Structure 1
Protein backbone atom coordinates (compact mmCIF):
# COMPACT_ATOMS: atom_id res chain seq x y z
CA UNK A 1 0.00 0.00 0.00
CA UNK A 2 2.91 2.34 0.76
CA UNK A 3 4.29 1.76 -2.71
CA UNK A 4 0.91 2.59 -4.23
CA UNK A 5 0.85 5.91 -2.39
CA UNK A 6 4.38 6.76 -3.48
CA UNK A 7 3.59 6.07 -7.15
CA UNK A 8 0.11 7.60 -7.34
CA UNK A 9 -0.68 11.24 -6.61
CA UNK A 10 -3.37 13.86 -7.02
CA UNK A 11 -2.49 16.04 -10.03
CA UNK A 12 -2.90 19.81 -10.11
CA UNK A 13 -2.26 19.66 -13.84
CA UNK A 14 -1.37 17.39 -16.73
CA UNK A 15 1.09 17.84 -19.55
CA UNK A 16 -0.04 17.23 -23.13
CA UNK A 17 2.70 15.97 -25.44
CA UNK A 18 1.18 17.12 -28.74
CA UNK A 19 1.95 14.43 -31.31
CA UNK A 20 3.97 11.82 -29.38
CA UNK A 21 6.98 10.57 -31.29
CA UNK A 22 6.98 13.56 -33.63
CA UNK A 23 8.12 16.25 -31.17
CA UNK A 24 11.01 17.24 -33.44
CA UNK A 25 8.52 18.01 -36.23
CA UNK A 26 6.11 20.07 -34.16
CA UNK A 27 7.08 23.40 -35.70
CA UNK A 28 6.54 21.97 -39.20
CA UNK A 29 3.29 20.26 -38.23
CA UNK A 30 1.99 23.62 -37.02
CA UNK A 31 1.87 24.84 -40.63
CA UNK A 32 -0.74 22.36 -41.96
CA UNK A 33 -2.68 22.28 -38.69
CA UNK A 34 -2.73 26.07 -38.39
CA UNK A 35 -3.78 26.40 -42.03
CA UNK A 36 -6.56 23.84 -41.62
CA UNK A 37 -7.85 25.58 -38.49
CA UNK A 38 -7.88 28.93 -40.31
CA UNK A 39 -9.78 27.40 -43.24
CA UNK A 40 -12.29 25.78 -40.84
CA UNK A 41 -12.96 29.06 -39.03
CA UNK A 42 -13.27 31.10 -42.23
CA UNK A 43 -15.47 28.48 -43.94
CA UNK A 44 -17.94 28.11 -41.08
CA UNK A 45 -18.13 31.84 -40.35
CA UNK A 46 -18.81 32.37 -44.07
CA UNK A 47 -21.64 29.81 -44.02
CA UNK A 48 -23.22 31.52 -41.00
CA UNK A 49 -22.94 34.94 -42.66
CA UNK A 50 -24.32 33.77 -46.03
CA UNK A 51 -27.32 31.95 -44.54
CA UNK A 52 -28.05 35.00 -42.38
CA UNK A 53 -28.18 37.47 -45.30
CA UNK A 54 -29.60 35.16 -48.02
CA UNK A 55 -33.35 34.95 -47.38
CA UNK A 56 -33.83 32.07 -49.83
CA UNK A 57 -31.73 29.93 -47.47
CA UNK A 58 -34.03 30.50 -44.49
CA UNK A 59 -35.14 26.86 -44.63
CA UNK A 60 -34.81 23.98 -42.14
CA UNK A 61 -31.85 22.33 -43.89
CA UNK A 62 -29.78 25.52 -43.79
CA UNK A 63 -30.76 26.33 -40.20
CA UNK A 64 -29.39 22.88 -39.33
CA UNK A 65 -26.31 23.72 -41.40
CA UNK A 66 -25.81 26.83 -39.25
CA UNK A 67 -26.03 24.63 -36.16
CA UNK A 68 -23.34 22.38 -37.67
CA UNK A 69 -21.18 25.43 -38.36
CA UNK A 70 -21.41 26.59 -34.73
CA UNK A 71 -20.67 23.08 -33.46
CA UNK A 72 -17.68 22.72 -35.80
CA UNK A 73 -16.30 26.07 -34.61
CA UNK A 74 -16.62 24.92 -31.00
CA UNK A 75 -15.02 21.52 -31.69
CA UNK A 76 -12.04 22.90 -33.60
CA UNK A 77 -11.52 25.81 -31.18
CA UNK A 78 -11.62 23.43 -28.20
CA UNK A 79 -8.43 21.75 -29.42
CA UNK A 80 -6.52 23.66 -32.10
CA UNK A 81 -5.38 26.78 -30.16
CA UNK A 82 -3.94 24.54 -27.43
CA UNK A 83 -2.31 22.26 -30.01
CA UNK A 84 -0.73 25.23 -31.78
CA UNK A 85 0.50 26.49 -28.40
CA UNK A 86 2.21 23.14 -27.87
CA UNK A 87 3.72 23.24 -31.37
CA UNK A 88 4.98 26.82 -31.14
CA UNK A 89 5.80 27.37 -27.46
CA UNK A 90 5.87 23.91 -25.86
CA UNK A 91 2.88 25.05 -23.76
CA UNK A 92 1.62 21.57 -22.94
CA UNK A 93 0.66 22.27 -19.32
CA UNK A 94 -3.09 22.12 -18.67
CA UNK A 95 -4.84 22.25 -15.30
CA UNK A 96 -7.05 19.37 -14.20
CA UNK A 97 -10.21 21.51 -14.42
CA UNK A 98 -9.27 22.83 -17.87
CA UNK A 99 -8.52 19.28 -19.01
CA UNK A 100 -11.92 17.99 -17.86
CA UNK A 101 -13.65 21.03 -19.42
CA UNK A 102 -11.91 20.41 -22.75
CA UNK A 103 -12.90 16.73 -22.55
CA UNK A 104 -16.54 17.67 -21.96
CA UNK A 105 -16.69 20.12 -24.88
CA UNK A 106 -15.04 17.71 -27.34
CA UNK A 107 -17.20 14.68 -26.56
CA UNK A 108 -20.39 16.65 -25.90
CA UNK A 109 -20.39 18.59 -29.15
CA UNK A 110 -19.31 15.56 -31.19
CA UNK A 111 -22.46 13.91 -29.77
CA UNK A 112 -24.53 17.01 -30.54
CA UNK A 113 -23.25 17.03 -34.13
CA UNK A 114 -24.36 13.44 -34.56
CA UNK A 115 -27.81 14.43 -33.31
CA UNK A 116 -27.99 17.30 -35.80
CA UNK A 117 -27.17 14.91 -38.66
CA UNK A 118 -30.05 12.73 -37.48
CA UNK A 119 -32.36 15.78 -37.44
CA UNK A 120 -31.20 16.69 -40.97
CA UNK A 121 -32.05 13.16 -42.12
CA UNK A 122 -35.56 13.63 -40.70
CA UNK A 123 -35.79 16.93 -42.58
CA UNK A 124 -34.82 15.23 -45.86
CA UNK A 125 -37.34 12.44 -45.18
CA UNK A 126 -40.22 14.88 -44.69
CA UNK A 127 -39.13 17.07 -47.64
CA UNK A 128 -39.08 14.12 -50.06
CA UNK A 129 -41.66 11.69 -48.68
CA UNK A 130 -44.25 14.24 -47.55
CA UNK A 131 -43.35 17.48 -49.38
CA UNK A 132 -46.78 19.09 -49.01
CA UNK A 133 -46.42 19.14 -45.23
CA UNK A 134 -42.68 19.94 -45.07
CA UNK A 135 -43.05 23.60 -44.08
CA UNK A 136 -45.85 22.84 -41.60
CA UNK A 137 -43.97 19.97 -39.94
CA UNK A 138 -40.47 21.52 -39.95
CA UNK A 139 -41.38 24.98 -38.66
CA UNK A 140 -38.71 27.28 -37.18
CA UNK A 141 -39.92 26.30 -33.70
CA UNK A 142 -39.56 22.59 -34.48
CA UNK A 143 -36.08 23.10 -35.97
CA UNK A 144 -35.02 25.00 -32.86
CA UNK A 145 -36.53 22.29 -30.63
CA UNK A 146 -34.65 19.53 -32.48
CA UNK A 147 -31.40 21.46 -32.07
CA UNK A 148 -32.12 21.95 -28.36
CA UNK A 149 -32.89 18.24 -27.89
CA UNK A 150 -29.58 17.34 -29.58
CA UNK A 151 -27.75 19.73 -27.23
CA UNK A 152 -29.49 18.45 -24.08
CA UNK A 153 -28.84 14.86 -25.11
CA UNK A 154 -25.14 15.62 -25.57
CA UNK A 155 -24.95 17.27 -22.14
CA UNK A 156 -26.78 14.39 -20.41
CA UNK A 157 -24.70 11.70 -22.13
CA UNK A 158 -21.29 13.31 -21.68
CA UNK A 159 -21.50 15.10 -18.30
CA UNK A 160 -20.86 11.83 -16.38
CA UNK A 161 -17.47 11.36 -18.11
CA UNK A 162 -15.57 14.20 -16.40
CA UNK A 163 -17.67 13.82 -13.23
CA UNK A 164 -16.72 10.14 -12.86
CA UNK A 165 -13.07 10.98 -13.43
CA UNK A 166 -13.23 13.71 -10.78
CA UNK A 167 -15.11 11.57 -8.22
CA UNK A 168 -13.88 8.03 -8.89
CA UNK A 169 -10.30 8.51 -10.10
CA UNK A 170 -8.55 11.12 -7.95
CA UNK A 171 -5.08 9.50 -8.14
CA UNK A 172 -2.83 9.14 -11.19
CA UNK A 173 0.36 7.19 -11.80
CA UNK A 174 1.56 9.69 -14.43
CA UNK A 175 0.74 13.28 -15.30
CA UNK A 176 1.85 13.24 -18.94
CA UNK A 177 -0.95 12.63 -21.46
CA UNK A 178 0.44 11.16 -24.68
CA UNK A 179 -2.07 13.05 -26.76
CA UNK A 180 -2.70 16.55 -28.09
CA UNK A 181 -5.91 17.06 -26.11
CA UNK A 182 -7.73 15.59 -23.11
CA UNK A 183 -9.47 12.69 -24.78
CA UNK A 184 -11.43 10.58 -22.27
CA UNK A 185 -9.55 7.30 -22.63
CA UNK A 186 -6.15 9.03 -22.80
CA UNK A 187 -6.81 10.45 -19.33
CA UNK A 188 -8.44 7.34 -17.84
CA UNK A 189 -5.48 5.11 -18.79
CA UNK A 190 -3.24 7.20 -16.50
CA UNK A 191 -5.47 6.74 -13.45
CA UNK A 192 -4.77 4.50 -10.49
CA UNK A 193 -7.57 2.29 -9.24
CA UNK A 194 -10.42 0.54 -10.99
CA UNK A 195 -11.38 2.37 -14.20
CA UNK A 196 -13.70 -0.31 -15.59
CA UNK A 197 -16.86 1.72 -14.95
CA UNK A 198 -15.36 4.70 -16.80
CA UNK A 199 -14.26 2.48 -19.68
CA UNK A 200 -17.62 0.72 -19.98
CA UNK A 201 -19.60 3.97 -19.79
CA UNK A 202 -17.41 5.73 -22.35
CA UNK A 203 -17.56 2.78 -24.75
CA UNK A 204 -21.32 2.34 -24.27
CA UNK A 205 -22.09 6.00 -24.95
CA UNK A 206 -19.85 6.00 -28.02
CA UNK A 207 -21.53 2.97 -29.55
CA UNK A 208 -25.01 4.08 -28.42
CA UNK A 209 -24.69 7.40 -30.23
CA UNK A 210 -22.96 5.93 -33.28
CA UNK A 211 -25.30 2.96 -33.71
CA UNK A 212 -28.65 4.55 -32.83
CA UNK A 213 -28.05 7.71 -34.85
CA UNK A 214 -26.70 5.70 -37.78
CA UNK A 215 -29.76 3.43 -37.67
CA UNK A 216 -32.08 6.46 -37.59
CA UNK A 217 -30.30 8.05 -40.55
CA UNK A 218 -30.28 4.75 -42.45
CA UNK A 219 -34.02 4.23 -41.83
CA UNK A 220 -34.75 7.74 -43.15
CA UNK A 221 -32.79 7.08 -46.31
CA UNK A 222 -34.39 3.68 -46.90
CA UNK A 223 -37.78 5.43 -46.99
CA UNK A 224 -36.34 8.25 -49.10
CA UNK A 225 -34.93 5.81 -51.67
CA UNK A 226 -38.27 3.94 -51.82
CA UNK A 227 -40.03 7.22 -52.58
CA UNK A 228 -37.40 8.22 -55.16
CA UNK A 229 -37.67 4.89 -56.96
CA UNK A 230 -41.39 5.51 -57.31
CA UNK A 231 -40.86 8.74 -59.26
CA UNK A 232 -41.82 8.67 -62.93
CA UNK A 233 -38.60 9.70 -64.70
CA UNK A 234 -34.85 9.25 -64.16
CA UNK A 235 -34.44 13.04 -64.27
CA UNK A 236 -36.87 13.46 -61.37
CA UNK A 237 -35.07 10.75 -59.39
CA UNK A 238 -31.66 12.35 -59.91
CA UNK A 239 -32.96 15.81 -59.06
CA UNK A 240 -34.60 14.57 -55.86
CA UNK A 241 -31.53 12.58 -54.78
CA UNK A 242 -29.40 15.63 -55.53
CA UNK A 243 -31.08 17.45 -52.65
CA UNK A 244 -29.65 14.78 -50.32
CA UNK A 245 -26.13 14.80 -51.76
CA UNK A 246 -24.65 17.41 -49.42
CA UNK A 247 -26.16 15.72 -46.37
CA UNK A 248 -24.84 12.28 -47.36
CA UNK A 249 -21.34 13.68 -47.97
CA UNK A 250 -21.37 15.48 -44.60
CA UNK A 251 -22.49 12.29 -42.82
CA UNK A 252 -19.61 10.29 -44.34
CA UNK A 253 -17.13 13.07 -43.54
CA UNK A 254 -18.22 12.98 -39.89
CA UNK A 255 -18.85 9.31 -39.15
CA UNK A 256 -16.02 7.59 -41.04
CA UNK A 257 -13.06 9.39 -39.34
CA UNK A 258 -14.63 9.20 -35.87
CA UNK A 259 -15.43 5.49 -36.25
CA UNK A 260 -11.91 4.69 -37.52
CA UNK A 261 -10.28 6.72 -34.73
CA UNK A 262 -12.45 5.11 -32.02
CA UNK A 263 -11.78 1.58 -33.28
CA UNK A 264 -8.05 2.20 -33.49
CA UNK A 265 -7.98 3.65 -29.97
CA UNK A 266 -9.90 0.70 -28.52
CA UNK A 267 -8.51 -2.20 -30.54
CA UNK A 268 -5.59 -1.04 -32.70
CA UNK A 269 -2.82 -1.70 -30.22
CA UNK A 270 -0.30 -2.22 -33.04
CA UNK A 271 -0.96 1.22 -34.56
CA UNK A 272 1.92 3.63 -33.76
CA UNK A 273 0.90 6.40 -31.29
CA UNK A 274 1.65 9.24 -33.75
CA UNK A 275 -0.80 7.75 -36.29
CA UNK A 276 -3.55 7.43 -33.70
CA UNK A 277 -3.06 10.99 -32.42
CA UNK A 278 -2.99 12.42 -35.95
CA UNK A 279 -6.24 10.58 -36.79
CA UNK A 280 -7.84 11.83 -33.57
CA UNK A 281 -7.00 15.40 -34.57
CA UNK A 282 -8.14 14.93 -38.14
CA UNK A 283 -11.60 13.74 -37.11
CA UNK A 284 -12.04 17.03 -35.22
CA UNK A 285 -10.69 19.08 -38.15
CA UNK A 286 -11.95 17.34 -41.29
CA UNK A 287 -15.72 17.97 -40.78
CA UNK A 288 -15.24 21.69 -39.93
CA UNK A 289 -13.13 22.10 -43.08
CA UNK A 290 -15.15 20.03 -45.53
CA UNK A 291 -18.76 20.73 -44.43
CA UNK A 292 -18.69 24.38 -45.65
CA UNK A 293 -16.93 23.32 -48.86
CA UNK A 294 -19.45 20.56 -49.60
CA UNK A 295 -22.44 22.84 -49.05
CA UNK A 296 -20.86 25.77 -50.90
CA UNK A 297 -20.12 23.57 -53.94
CA UNK A 298 -23.51 21.85 -54.00
CA UNK A 299 -25.78 24.78 -53.08
CA UNK A 300 -26.28 27.35 -55.83
CA UNK A 301 -27.47 30.15 -53.53
CA UNK A 302 -24.48 29.78 -51.19
CA UNK A 303 -22.06 29.57 -54.10
CA UNK A 304 -23.49 32.63 -55.83
CA UNK A 305 -23.56 34.70 -52.64
CA UNK A 306 -19.91 33.83 -51.85
CA UNK A 307 -18.86 34.77 -55.40
CA UNK A 308 -20.80 38.03 -55.09
CA UNK A 309 -19.01 38.86 -51.81
CA UNK A 310 -15.64 38.06 -53.39
CA UNK A 311 -16.39 40.36 -56.36
CA UNK A 312 -17.36 43.21 -54.03
CA UNK A 313 -14.16 42.71 -52.01
CA UNK A 314 -12.07 42.70 -55.20
CA UNK A 315 -13.69 45.97 -56.38
CA UNK A 316 -13.08 47.65 -53.01
CA UNK A 317 -9.40 46.82 -53.25
Structure 2
Protein backbone atom coordinates (compact mmCIF):
# COMPACT_ATOMS: atom_id res chain seq x y z
CA UNK A 1 0.00 0.00 0.00
CA UNK A 2 2.85 2.39 0.86
CA UNK A 3 4.48 2.19 -2.56
CA UNK A 4 1.13 2.81 -4.24
CA UNK A 5 0.62 5.92 -2.13
CA UNK A 6 4.15 7.09 -2.99
CA UNK A 7 3.37 6.51 -6.68
CA UNK A 8 0.14 8.51 -6.41
CA UNK A 9 2.04 11.31 -4.69
CA UNK A 10 4.72 11.39 -7.41
CA UNK A 11 2.06 11.61 -10.13
CA UNK A 12 0.36 14.37 -8.13
CA UNK A 13 3.65 16.31 -7.95
CA UNK A 14 4.11 15.88 -11.71
CA UNK A 15 0.64 17.24 -12.46
CA UNK A 16 1.22 20.16 -10.07
CA UNK A 17 4.50 21.07 -11.77
CA UNK A 18 3.61 20.26 -15.39
CA UNK A 19 0.25 22.03 -15.49
CA UNK A 20 -0.32 24.05 -12.29
CA UNK A 21 -3.17 26.13 -13.72
CA UNK A 22 -5.25 23.04 -14.54
CA UNK A 23 -4.34 21.12 -11.37
CA UNK A 24 -7.77 21.43 -9.74
CA UNK A 25 -9.48 20.43 -12.99
CA UNK A 26 -7.25 17.37 -13.43
CA UNK A 27 -7.08 16.19 -9.81
CA UNK A 28 -10.76 15.86 -8.97
CA UNK A 29 -12.50 14.08 -6.11
CA UNK A 30 -13.68 11.19 -8.35
CA UNK A 31 -10.12 10.64 -9.58
CA UNK A 32 -8.77 10.70 -6.03
CA UNK A 33 -11.46 8.21 -4.95
CA UNK A 34 -10.66 6.00 -7.95
CA UNK A 35 -6.98 6.04 -7.07
CA UNK A 36 -7.78 5.09 -3.48
CA UNK A 37 -10.05 2.27 -4.67
CA UNK A 38 -7.35 0.99 -7.03
CA UNK A 39 -4.81 1.01 -4.19
CA UNK A 40 -7.23 -0.88 -1.97
CA UNK A 41 -7.98 -3.46 -4.66
CA UNK A 42 -4.30 -4.01 -5.34
CA UNK A 43 -3.71 -4.94 -1.70
CA UNK A 44 -6.78 -7.19 -1.27
CA UNK A 45 -5.85 -10.82 -0.55
CA UNK A 46 -8.42 -13.29 0.71
CA UNK A 47 -7.28 -16.30 2.71
CA UNK A 48 -9.18 -19.38 1.55
CA UNK A 49 -9.48 -22.45 3.71
CA UNK A 50 -8.74 -24.80 0.79
CA UNK A 51 -6.08 -24.48 -1.91
CA UNK A 52 -3.69 -21.60 -1.15
CA UNK A 53 -1.89 -21.71 -4.52
CA UNK A 54 -4.01 -18.92 -6.13
CA UNK A 55 -3.45 -16.81 -3.04
CA UNK A 56 0.30 -17.43 -3.26
CA UNK A 57 0.35 -16.49 -6.96
CA UNK A 58 -1.66 -13.34 -6.26
CA UNK A 59 0.75 -12.42 -3.45
CA UNK A 60 3.72 -12.89 -5.79
CA UNK A 61 2.07 -10.68 -8.42
CA UNK A 62 1.39 -7.97 -5.84
CA UNK A 63 4.97 -8.02 -4.55
CA UNK A 64 6.31 -7.89 -8.10
CA UNK A 65 4.08 -4.96 -8.97
CA UNK A 66 4.95 -3.18 -5.73
CA UNK A 67 8.69 -3.43 -6.08
CA UNK A 68 8.87 -3.41 -9.86
CA UNK A 69 6.03 -1.46 -11.39
CA UNK A 70 5.47 1.14 -8.66
CA UNK A 71 9.16 1.96 -8.35
CA UNK A 72 9.54 2.11 -12.14
CA UNK A 73 6.58 4.47 -12.45
CA UNK A 74 7.90 6.65 -9.62
CA UNK A 75 11.24 6.93 -11.44
CA UNK A 76 9.45 7.77 -14.71
CA UNK A 77 7.32 10.36 -12.93
CA UNK A 78 10.40 12.06 -11.48
CA UNK A 79 12.17 11.95 -14.84
CA UNK A 80 9.16 13.78 -16.33
CA UNK A 81 9.24 16.24 -13.43
CA UNK A 82 12.95 16.89 -14.00
CA UNK A 83 12.36 17.34 -17.74
CA UNK A 84 9.53 19.79 -17.00
CA UNK A 85 11.56 21.70 -14.40
CA UNK A 86 14.50 22.06 -16.78
CA UNK A 87 12.07 23.69 -19.23
CA UNK A 88 11.25 26.45 -16.73
CA UNK A 89 13.12 29.59 -17.77
CA UNK A 90 13.48 31.36 -14.43
CA UNK A 91 15.94 30.09 -11.86
CA UNK A 92 13.57 30.92 -9.01
CA UNK A 93 10.78 28.93 -10.67
CA UNK A 94 13.07 25.93 -11.07
CA UNK A 95 14.10 26.13 -7.43
CA UNK A 96 10.48 26.31 -6.20
CA UNK A 97 9.45 23.37 -8.36
CA UNK A 98 12.34 21.19 -7.21
CA UNK A 99 11.90 22.25 -3.59
CA UNK A 100 8.30 21.06 -3.76
CA UNK A 101 9.53 17.52 -4.52
CA UNK A 102 12.39 17.20 -2.03
CA UNK A 103 10.32 15.87 0.86
CA UNK A 104 8.62 13.31 -1.35
CA UNK A 105 11.95 12.10 -2.76
CA UNK A 106 13.21 11.69 0.82
CA UNK A 107 10.08 9.72 1.73
CA UNK A 108 10.58 7.45 -1.29
CA UNK A 109 14.20 6.85 -0.28
CA UNK A 110 13.25 6.20 3.35
CA UNK A 111 10.78 3.56 2.13
CA UNK A 112 12.79 1.85 -0.62
CA UNK A 113 16.34 1.82 0.81
CA UNK A 114 15.50 -0.30 3.89
CA UNK A 115 13.21 -2.55 1.81
CA UNK A 116 15.92 -3.20 -0.77
CA UNK A 117 18.50 -3.72 1.98
CA UNK A 118 16.36 -6.37 3.67
CA UNK A 119 15.76 -8.10 0.33
CA UNK A 120 19.47 -8.10 -0.55
CA UNK A 121 20.55 -9.40 2.86
CA UNK A 122 17.88 -12.10 2.73
CA UNK A 123 18.93 -13.14 -0.78
CA UNK A 124 22.72 -12.86 -0.71
CA UNK A 125 23.78 -12.98 2.95
CA UNK A 126 21.97 -16.09 4.09
CA UNK A 127 24.90 -17.01 6.35
CA UNK A 128 24.98 -13.61 8.05
CA UNK A 129 24.39 -13.43 11.76
CA UNK A 130 20.70 -13.54 12.65
CA UNK A 131 21.18 -10.27 14.54
CA UNK A 132 22.04 -8.48 11.27
CA UNK A 133 18.91 -9.77 9.56
CA UNK A 134 16.81 -8.92 12.59
CA UNK A 135 18.27 -5.42 12.82
CA UNK A 136 17.58 -4.71 9.14
CA UNK A 137 14.05 -6.08 9.44
CA UNK A 138 13.38 -3.80 12.40
CA UNK A 139 14.88 -0.83 10.55
CA UNK A 140 12.58 -1.58 7.61
CA UNK A 141 9.53 -1.75 9.86
CA UNK A 142 10.32 1.18 12.17
CA UNK A 143 12.35 3.81 10.29
CA UNK A 144 9.87 4.82 7.54
CA UNK A 145 6.91 5.46 9.87
CA UNK A 146 9.14 7.37 12.30
CA UNK A 147 10.90 9.50 9.68
CA UNK A 148 7.92 10.31 7.42
CA UNK A 149 6.27 12.80 9.81
CA UNK A 150 9.66 14.40 10.41
CA UNK A 151 10.37 14.67 6.68
CA UNK A 152 7.04 16.33 5.91
CA UNK A 153 6.92 18.57 8.99
CA UNK A 154 10.43 20.04 8.64
CA UNK A 155 9.20 21.95 5.58
CA UNK A 156 6.76 23.87 7.79
CA UNK A 157 8.45 27.11 8.81
CA UNK A 158 7.06 27.20 12.37
CA UNK A 159 8.11 23.61 13.11
CA UNK A 160 11.56 24.18 11.62
CA UNK A 161 12.06 27.30 13.76
CA UNK A 162 10.86 25.43 16.85
CA UNK A 163 13.34 22.60 16.22
CA UNK A 164 16.18 25.08 15.72
CA UNK A 165 15.30 26.81 18.98
CA UNK A 166 15.09 23.46 20.76
CA UNK A 167 18.55 22.44 19.60
CA UNK A 168 20.03 25.86 20.38
CA UNK A 169 18.64 25.74 23.94
CA UNK A 170 20.25 22.35 24.57
CA UNK A 171 23.70 23.68 23.65
CA UNK A 172 23.73 26.19 26.47
**Structure 2-normalised TM-score?**
0.81
Q: Supply the distance in 2 between the matched residues of 1:282 and 1:295 (Cα, whole angstroms).
A: 19
Structure 1 runs of 4+ off > 6 angstroms? none
Displacement of 1:233: 2.4
Determine the structure 1 residue equivalent to 2:25.
136
Aligned mates of 1:266, 1:122 — CA distance in 2:
31
Corresponding residue SS for 1:244? helix
Q: Secondary structure at the match of 1:271?
A: coil
Query: Take 1:271 and 1:120, find their aligned partners in 2: how far apart are those partners?
Result: 36
Aligned length: 161
Q: Bigger radius of gyration, 1 or 2? A: 1
Pick 1 or 2: higher relative contact order, CA cutoff 8 A, min separation 6: 1
Q: For residues 210 and 114 of structure 1, what CA distance do their matches in structure 2 show? A: 8
Equivalent residue for 2:148?
A: 291
Q: Does 1:277 find its partner at 2:134?
A: yes
Unaligned runs of 5+ in 1: 1-111, 170-194, 308-317
Which residue does 1:125 correspond to in 2?
Answer: 14
Shift of 1:209: 1.3
Structure 2 portions without partners, runs of 5+: 163-172
Q: Deviations over 1:3-44 (max 9, x none)?
A: xxxxxxxxxxxxxxxxxxxxxxxxxxxxxxxxxxxxxxxxxx
Counterpart position of 1:225: 82
More displaced stretch, 228-237 vs 200-209: 200-209
Structure-1-length-normalised TM-score: 0.46
CA distance, structure 2, for counterparts of residue 259 and residue 202 of structure 1: 18
Once residues 202 and 271 of structure 1 are traced to their aligned partners in structure 2, the CA distance between those partners, rounded to angstroms, is 27
Give the aligned partner of residue 145 of structure 1: 34
**Residue 204 of structure 1: CA displacement?**
4.9
* 1:256 maps to 2:113: yes
The Cα of 1:141 is off from its aligned counterpart by: 3.4
